[in-house]
Amino acid sequence: MSWTLCIDFGTAYSKAAVAPSDTWSRLDPGRIRPLMLGGDSQGANTFLLPSAVFVDDMRILFGAAAIARAAALADKKRAALKSFKTLLSVSDLDRALNTGVPASIDPHRLFSMGDLITLYLAYLGASIDRAIAADSVLERFAAFDRRYAAPAWRGGDSTGLHGVVMGVFGQAEAARDLLGNDVLAADGISIESARNAVTRARDSDRVAEMGLIFEATAAAAYTSVGLDIDAPALIIADMGAGTTDIAVLARAGARIEELPEARLTLKQAGDYIDSIIANLILAANPRVKKLSEQGALWSAAMRAMRGFKETLFAEGRASMRHEGKVTTVTLRALENHKDFRVFARAVGDAYDAALETASKYATMHGRREIQSVAVGGGAHAPFIQELIRRKPKRGGKVQVIPRPPTPDWAHAAEFQGNLAPVFPQLAIAIGGAIAPAEMLAAGATPAAVVRSGSRVAPG
């Protein structure tokens, strides 16, 4: 049996999943393996690996340790490198990778942006290896077809950066080989080891062998396979931390394809909503006037934001305590904020355009229903859930059937309650793993070794 691995190199978290390569034609949800990238981490969901790097005095920290250390030193104007996935949006990626980073991130001025991303991807690769080794189904296998998911940043030229990205992944593989499992240590790696690894990795000219699948296509692939209702089109709203992606997957008999005219990526998403909520918290504290005090309140709000936002969306209001004062924000206040209204309108316009495309496709094929689904970390946001229930403005009698963001099998006992709460965030990695090769945007490759020193066990 051959297997396919897909990496979702997310803005806030990285995720990965593995599935049998024939899953598209022979769906067996029990064989889909979301990888526990966090290992035995405490206090966090083990399927999510924080996308963060922190350059300390003598060592470099990754993931949750990087975020915790940055929070501890926030008053000293230190910060972790986060949200570096947005680099994929630039037109000159080579130049961006070779630029330096602010002193708040690297006070030693030793590393470029590309160096730190290479080190993070080495950490991600080691985390994937660890998760595979701990999986009783996958640990026998040494090779997988590999893919990564990325947003369709640049319209018709969306695949133009694929070669550069493969070079970065290749250097990360070389750095991973040099660093070994030391990169997974709780206290990270020494700066000397990191410098040596990135220098030698650059000299290796190694290039990874991975396919590229657009994020919205990957999400569509998962939600399309095994549909109970054979709708001719599926519209996807994918709101993550850094981007909001809209796409339509069309079905004509046994053939499934994405409709490129419906694809759109907005460079505002969950992180943008977080900033609006933090500003509402600041506005509710007019006596906090000093910049240092405002900075401390903002940092406290951002540290509590994940749980705060979940409560806000679920209950319509949420509160946080800071230095003895409780601040409450209502969902109505968020929805009435001018910046949120502009953002929600932009998402709605993009969705309506895709909805019209999907409706026309259904009508052209003599059908009267389409399906919709929301995925990503923002899938449960009320305005996103309202969005996927919209009726087409000029769709005649076309009916929209919304699908739940989390399938029943995600609640299986084997996932110990960890998978269902974050399934919308994992849908892209899972969909990328099960999608057939013809859905790839670029770089379909034969099985590439992801762990050395092992033999492939018979399927």
Q: Which of 262, 418, 288, 421 is nearest to 349 (CA)?
A: 262
Residue found by looking up tokens 């989390």 in the block: 406
Collapsing DSSP to helix, strand or coil, 375 comes out as strand
Query: Buried b / exposed e across 76-105, counting CB within 10 Å, b at 16+?
Result: eebbbbbebbbbbbeeebeebbeeebeebb
DSSP code per residue over 18-31: EEETTTTTS--GGG
What kind and span of H or E run contains 82? strand 81-82
What kind and span of H or E run contains 356? helix 338-364
Q: Which of 383, 385, 365 is nearest to 375 (CA)?
A: 385
Q: Delineate the domains of the chain, giving CATH numbers in brackets.
A: 3-210+438-449 (3.30.420), 229-405 (3.30.420.40)
What kind and span of H or E run contains 51? none
Using alpha carbons only, give the angle 84, 89, 91 rounded to the nearest 5 degrees: 120
Q: Which two tokens stand for residue 33?
A: 């393996």
Count the Cβ atoms, other than its own, within 10 Å of residue 157. Answer: 10
**Amino acid identity, position 296:** A
Query: Buried b / exposed e across 119-154, counting CB within 10 Å, b at 16+?
Result: bbbbbbbbbbbbbbeebeebeebbbbbbbbbbbbbe
Quote the pLDDT of residue 242: 80
Instruction: Give the whole-angstrom CA distance, residue 3 versus residue 15.
Output: 17
Burial class of 345 by CB neighbour count within 10 A (0 to 12, 13 to 18, 19+):
exposed
Tell me the chain's radius of gyration from C-alpha atoms: 22
Q: Which residues contact 365 (CB under 8 A, 6 or more apart)?
A: 232, 252
- Residues lower than pLDDT 70 in the chain: 40-44, 88-91, 152-160, 220, 223-230, 252-256, 395-396, 443-459
| H-assigned helices in 205-330 | 215-224, 270-283, 291-303, 305-315
Torsion of CA 295, 296, 298, 302, to 10 degrees: 130
Contact between 5 and 142 (Cβ < 8 Å): no
User: What does the pLDDT look like over 328-340, one tens digit per residue?
Assistant: 999 999 999 999 9
Q: Which two tokens stand for residue 187?
A: 């206290």
Contact between 38 and 46 (Cβ < 8 Å): yes
What kind and span of H or E run contains 248? strand 244-252
Instruction: Give the whole-angstrom CA distance, residue 239 versus residue 351.
Output: 12
User: What does the pLDDT look like over 68-86, one tens digit per residue?
Assistant: 999 889 878 899 998 777 7
Count the Cβ atoms, other than its own, within 10 Å of residue 217. Answer: 26
Using alpha carbons only, give the angle 160, 162, 164 rounded to the nearest 5 degrees: 100
Q: Which two tokens stand for residue 402?
A: 């919304």
Contact between 215 and 8 (Cβ < 8 Å): yes
What kind and span of H or E run contains 116? helix 113-134
**Amino acid identity, position 17:** A
Count the Cβ atoms, other than its own, within 10 Å of residue 158. Answer: 20
Quote the pLDDT of residue 40: 67
Tell me the pTM: 0.80
Strand-pairing partners, residue 139, are none
At residue 435, what are phi and psi to the nearest 5 degrees? Answer: -65, 140
Pairing verdict, β 59-62 and 52-55: antiparallel
Instruction: Give the whole-angstrom CA distance, residue 409 versus residue 73.
Output: 42
Query: Buried b / exposed e across 429-454, counting CB within 10 Å, b at 16+?
Result: bbbbbbbbeebbbbbbeebeebeeee
Quote the pLDDT of residue 139: 77
Using alpha carbons only, give the angle 50, 53, 55 rounded to the nearest 5 degrees: 150
Instruction: Give the whole-angstrom CA distance, residue 211 versus residue 166.
Output: 9
